[in-house]
Amino acid sequence: MINKVIRQAVEFTETYKKYFDAPIPIREGMCFKVIYPGLLSGLQDSDIFAGRCSKRHIVHAGMFRYYGFPNYTPETRTEIGTGGKNGGYCFDFSAKYNTDLTDEETVIIEELDAFWRIHGTMAKVRNDPKNEFLFDSGFSTPNNIDSMVKKGLPGYISDVKSMPEGDFKKGLLLALEAVENTLKFYIKEADEKSNETVKKNINALLEHEPKTLAEALQLILIFELLTHERHYEIHWLDVAVGDIYAHEIDNGSLTEDEAIELIKAFFEMINENGDTTVCRLVMGGIGRRNTENADRFLKAALKAEQLHNRVTPQFTVRLYEDMDKEVLKLSYDTLNITGTLPLFYNDDIIIPGVAESFGITNEEATMYYPVGCGEYVLGYISPALLITNWNVPKTLNEALRDSDAASFDELYQTFVKHIEIHARKLAKYIRLVVDTHNENNVFLLASLVIDDCIKRNKPILNGGARYLGASIMGHGYTNAGDALAALKKVVFENKLYTLDEVITALDANFEGYEGIRKALQNVPKYGNDIIEVDMMVSDLWRLLDAETHKAGREYGIDFLAMASANPSGHFMGRLTGATPDGRLSGTSYAICNAPAAGNDKNGITAMLNSIMRTPPANGGATTNIKLSRKFLENERDKFEALFSAFWAGGGQQASITLLDRGELEAAIKEPEKHPHVMVRLGGWTARFIDLDTFVQQEILARTLY
């Protein structure tokens, strides 16, 4: 018997062929109806909510994706696929290599493979002669769940039916049919399982907008599943459901304990469905329309998180000076229980920084959202194409070899030229991705659930969203800044070695040149409250951000920001040679906005002072901080005072990992006894025992305060 997903891949492919010459929205709508509800799992006996991804024999054998993880693209190495954010028409090109297939299934998969190597959206990007990279093609943006809860499915249908006649409207109605079919699928499932709770809530959603907390959470789960699948991005859940929550609590139709159980079940569904590297849930902050009711819900959600205590969702709280202090207290209480969550973002610093960086108003900047690993996107009004990475130390190494500088300023100017060239190449690639999408896709459901697309009668990437935004994920800022400081001191000020001698040492990975490495290492490093070094990192970030924005505008991107939030510095460092900060070839970069592991030697206050010098006009800055659990448990007043000073002094973000001393070493020695140990990698929380050995070693090397 042919695997269900393969059968559906065939049906999907045949539908694509049938409607190949149809208008793009019609083809997409017909293909989308093949996917949903067909690829969803049914209800389980204990389910409170419907909306579970299928446990697939083959991941995404052939389908259309809006955005998110995981999916696969054709590579020159045909024995393996590469995961990534691959929006549009997709196929798992590694299926025939990593799946047990019958002879009949193998023939089918090979035929599908050959077809989608030509017609897949990512394949079209990769095959374009203008393409210089092997990056991805997807994008991500949080849905406007506040509007979603107000409208409900009937409201969306009414809005679309009121649009001018045209193919975009017809396509949207087809996508909405898929949503209706999904709800009806779950009603049938609920009947078979005699699950009256789910049946009642789903029936209500077919008839009207949500009127209870359970209905609102159910609607959000369905739309998140169909637009994000395993890549949940939930912005301002407290705003969307706060009024409903408060109304039900106040009229006695729901107790706080019952609400907490509902929220916990909502979290559990996300944890089961979602990819552990993403799945962010953001609440709190400046700009919410219903602060009091939103905070009431946020407090209940924090209590639910204390009971949930899993890797996902990546619970995130936006802080600000005048916030409800009970929310902050509960947030710290929750951190003490979970060890890693919630994550903290400081609106007082970030909002004006985003406004400056993106060239928007402060009011628009209140809608910032740290998508995925923490790269900033404007919720509801802009997609974020998070598809390009920048190996900053590698760019510096290239500049060294292209320079015969007699002074540090001359070397720096050569570096600037390399930055300008690379920024334009990345912006050009992003433009290629956008153009390819617009030639093939309209992203119907995504266009429905963010602002302006319906009003403008245009798809999300083609004039529908207010802004077209993107982020470049930069790695190794700290190493590059430390390297510049070291070169300035060792080569140009103290003249201990020439630039050529340093380059020779780098090429040899410092073997036989230990004296040069020691001299470079001995120069003070970022993370020790040394202004000259800290500003080298800060000024480099400003330069990178300015050049990426300039390049983005050249290629029609409203804002192209530089972010340091993704932990891929682990893997990028593994593929990069030695660098002038004294780092050896193949070792991890400093992750995100933190010092290189072990380089912060002057205490936590000095480390935080360095971090506070990071320019707030950036595309996202994540800082990992390892603290002794006993510090929060036994010295709570000092902990709160420390972070109050950090937030007031300009600290933007904190991703805190609480640990007992020796806990990580014990987990490495006896992993079976430590499945509960959670750590922050950079953009996400993970079980320590699940990580690659070289990632574990970098985390182990971080200073524990």
Span of 52-56, 86-90, 201-205 with lowest mean pLDDT: 52-56
Of the two residues 488 and 132, the one the predictor is more confident about is 488
Both tokens assigned to 209: 């907008």
Q: Cβ distance 623 to 593 under 8 Å?
A: yes
211 falls within a domain: no
Q: Are residues 583 and 532 in the same domain?
A: yes
- Of the chain, the percentage scoring pLDDT greater than 70 comes to 94
CA atoms of 604 and 607, how far apart (whole Å): 5
In this prediction, residues 319-338 reach a mean pLDDT of 97
pLDDT band at 493 (very low <50, low <70, confident <90, very high): very high
pLDDT band at 64 (very low <50, low <70, confident <90, very high): low
In this prediction, residues 550-564 reach a mean pLDDT of 96
pLDDT at 208: 98
pLDDT at 54: 67
Neighbouring CB atoms inside 10 A of 569's CB total: 31
Which residue do the tokens 């740290």 mark? 370
Q: Are residues 287 and 302 in the same domain?
A: yes
What digits encode the pLDDT tens for the residues 601-618?
999 999 999 999 999 999
What digits encode the pLDDT tens for the residues 244-254?
999 999 999 99
Amino acid at position 308, single letter? H
pLDDT band at 694 (very low <50, low <70, confident <90, very high): low
3-state secondary structure of 678: strand
> Which residue, of 127, 159, 179, is where some domain finishes?
127
Q: Cβ distance 540 to 485 under 8 Å?
A: no
Q: Cβ distance 50 to 267 under 8 Å?
A: no
CA atoms of 131 and 248, how far apart (whole Å): 54
Of the two residues 165 and 121, the one the predictor is more confident about is 165
What digits encode the pLDDT tens for the residues 381-427?
999 888 899 999 999 999 999 999 999 999 999 999 999 999 999 99
Span of 22-36, 63-77, 172-186, 476-490 with lowest mean pLDDT: 63-77
Q: Is the pLDDT of residue 536 over 90?
A: yes
pLDDT band at 57 (very low <50, low <70, confident <90, very high): very low
Q: Is the pLDDT of residue 262 over 80?
A: yes
Q: Cβ distance 334 to 342 under 8 Å?
A: yes
Q: Is the pLDDT of residue 532 over 80?
A: yes
Q: Are residues 641 and 569 in the same domain?
A: no
Q: Is the pLDDT of residue 703 over 80?
A: no
Q: Into how many domains does the chain fold?
A: 3
Handedness of CA 523, 528, 532, 534 (dihedral sign): positive
The distance of Cα 626 from the centroid of its chain, to the nearest Å, equals: 21
273 falls within a domain: yes
610 falls within a domain: yes
Q: Are residues 249 and 367 in the same domain?
A: yes
CA atoms of 476 and 589, how far apart (whole Å): 5
Q: Cβ distance 375 to 566 under 8 Å?
A: yes
Q: Are residues 428 and 488 in the same domain?
A: yes
148 falls within a domain: no
Q: Are residues 602 and 629 in the same domain?
A: no
**Tell me, what DSSP letter sits at residue 254?**
S
Residues shown for the chain = 705
Could you give the residue ranges of the DSSP H alpha helices within 56-208?
95-98, 103-119, 121-127, 145-161, 167-193, 196-207
Q: Are residues 602 and 652 in the same domain?
A: no
687 falls within a domain: yes
pLDDT band at 452 (very low <50, low <70, confident <90, very high): very high
Phi, psi of 31 (to 5 degrees): -65, -40
CA atoms of 224 and 209, how far apart (whole Å): 16
Q: Is the pLDDT of residue 255 over 50?
A: yes
Span of 209-218, 274-283, 637-646 with lowest mean pLDDT: 274-283
> Which residue, of 127, 158, 188, is where some domain finishes?
127
CA atoms of 498 and 128, how far apart (whole Å): 43
pLDDT at 59: 40
428 falls within a domain: yes
- Of the chain, the percentage scoring pLDDT greater than 90 comes to 70
**Ramachandran class of 83: left when φ > 0, alpha when ψ lies in -120 to 50, beta otherwise:** beta
Strand positions, DSSP E, 227-331:
233-235, 280-284, 314-319
In this prediction, residues 649-667 reach a mean pLDDT of 88
In this prediction, residues 678-683 reach a mean pLDDT of 71
136 falls within a domain: no
Q: Is the peptide bond before 615 cis (omega within 30 degrees of 0)?
A: no
Q: Are residues 354 and 421 in the same domain?
A: no
Span of 143-152, 320-329, 379-388, 458-467 with lowest mean pLDDT: 379-388
Q: Are residues 586 and 611 in the same domain?
A: yes
In this prediction, residues 165-174 reach a mean pLDDT of 98
Q: Cβ distance 608 to 650 under 8 Å?
A: no
Of the two residues 39 and 252, the one the predictor is more confident about is 252
Domain carrying residue 99: 4-127
In this prediction, residues 524-551 reach a mean pLDDT of 96
Q: Are residues 704 and 631 in the same domain?
A: yes
pLDDT at 71: 41
Question: Nearest CA to 190 among 178, 202, 206?
Answer: 202
Of the two residues 138 and 601, the one the predictor is more confident about is 601
Both tokens assigned to 205: 């959603």
Q: Is the pLDDT of residue 155 over 90?
A: yes
Handedness of CA 19, 25, 26, 30 (dihedral sign): positive
Handedness of CA 142, 147, 148, 154 (dihedral sign): negative
> Which residue, of 619, 646, 667, is where some domain finishes?
619
pLDDT band at 321 (very low <50, low <70, confident <90, very high): very high
- Helix pair 408-440, 477-487: axis angle to 10 deg: 160
CA angle 395, 400, 402 (to 5 degrees): 95
CA atoms of 145 and 380, how far apart (whole Å): 9
Pairing of strands 685-687, 678-680: antiparallel
Q: Which helix (H) or strand (E) holds 94?
A: none
pLDDT band at 60 (very low <50, low <70, confident <90, very high): very low
Question: Nearest CA to 485 among 528, 520, 514?
Answer: 520
Question: Nearest CA to 591 among 426, 472, 702?
Answer: 702
Q: Is the pLDDT of residue 491 over 50?
A: yes
Q: Are residues 352 and 434 in the same domain?
A: no
CA atoms of 119 and 116, how far apart (whole Å): 5
170 falls within a domain: no
What digits encode the pLDDT tens for the residues 86-120?
678 887 777 777 667 889 988 998 898 889 888 98
Q: Are residues 329 and 279 in the same domain?
A: yes
